[in-house]
Copies of this chain bind each other. A is one copy, B any other.
Amino acid sequence: MDPEKEITIYDIAKKLNISAATVSRGLMDHPSVNINTKQKVVEAAQEMGYRSNHLASNLRKKKSNIIGIIVGNLNSSFMSNVIAGVEKVLSEAGYNLIISQSLDSVAKEVNIAQAMYNNRVDGLMVSLAYETENADHFESFVKRGIPLVYFDRVWPHPKCPGIEIDNVKASYHITDHLIKQGCKRIAHITAFRLSSVAADRYKGYEQALIDNNLRVEEDLILRTQLTLKAGIEAAHTILAMAKRPDGVFVTNDACAVSCMQELKRHGIRIPDDIAFAGFNNDTEASIIEPNLTTVNYKGYDMGEVAAKILINRLNNSENVSPADNKLIQKSELVIRDSSLKKK
């Protein structure tokens, strides 16, 4: 037999002297197909080296069986955990995953959205690019009724669930913890452009200060890129301050860790001179000395939850309870030595 030739259901049909429709039914476990026929079909398919042509069945069914996922950047431990969780759920549900990264550029995000739309993904999961300030480029999906789920960096939309953690609350707690440890002047390293995530964390920080009768000082708000490099620069800014802070709350761990390292290099004692807290509970947080107090939330779980919600929408496109529209994943404060001042 020519190994190059693809076997189709017609080949099987001819061989068994039945119709292609029956072969198709046999192959897809159709309820009304004779059990014997089915077995014959499956055996013949196996023997002849048949492989189903998803391209054709997708066209016929007008379903691609593909879910798209758009993220800012794949190479963070948080995001790869999200993807791992998503991939697990989707593959169990029989869907394929197409992944694209916007590299945190809005322009690229728009292009990707268009490409995914043309590729006819059955559903879409999005964590917005850092820069993104509106979600118009995803409206085409909403209009066509293609399920769209946001996670982590979400966009509020009545028809699109958003899975995130309560950033305000978590950052309120961690700031409050620093205050309880005796910090009076707490600096906050945040982002230049306030994404919803950064904005919420800022809000929690601010509220905690206010509730504890501490002043919110503009000088103590450091707006950065939140990169490793930015952490080092922030350290220098802090070192240069006439009146240094006695605590620092950083919007992410990576930046917190690099800032701590640089301060330590300049003789600052942590937590005695300056207490530190981060956000994310990345691996680094439990390696840096002293270990970093942070907020833990699991990317893997978030990915799982987001994917399950999407699958759910895919299965009952109508029955969309508005209740699951905004989903808060739990997060927890992880207290480590970087914030524990000896009393």
Contact A74 B83 (CB under 8 A): yes
Number of A residues whose C-beta is below 8 Å from B?
Answer: 50
Contact among B79, B87, B99, B257 for A287, CB-based, below 8 A: B257
**Chain A residues within 8 Å of B, Cβ to Cβ:** 3-4, 51-56, 58-59, 62, 64, 66, 73-77, 79-81, 83-84, 87-88, 91, 96-101, 112, 115, 117-120, 143-144, 254, 257, 261, 283-284, 287-289, 299-300
> Which residues of B sit under 8 angstroms from A56, Cβ to Cβ?
59
Q: How far is the CA of A225 from the CA of B305 in the complex (A)?
A: 29
Contact B80 A74 (CB under 8 A): yes
Q: How far is the CA of A96 from the CA of B70 in the complex (A)?
A: 12
Smallest CB-CB A-B distances: 3 pairs: A80-B80, A75-B80, A55-B59
Contact B98 A98 (CB under 8 A): yes
> Which residues of B sit under 8 angstroms from A62, Cβ to Cβ?
55
Contact B53 A120 (CB under 8 A): yes
Supposing A3-B143, A120-B55, A289-B289 touch, asked if A77 and B74 sit within 8 A by C-beta, the answer is no
Q: How far is the CA of A118 from the CA of B64 in the complex (A)?
A: 13
Q: A55-B59, A75-B80 known; 11 other A-B pairs, CB under 8 Å? A: A3-B143, A53-B59, A54-B118, A55-B55, A74-B83, A75-B81, A77-B80, A80-B83, A96-B98, A261-B287, A283-B283
> Which residues of B sit under 8 angstroms from A76, Cβ to Cβ?
80
Supposing A52-B118, A287-B257 touch, asked if A87 and B100 sit within 8 A by C-beta, the answer is yes
> Which residues of B sit under 8 angstroms from A58, Cβ to Cβ?
55, 59
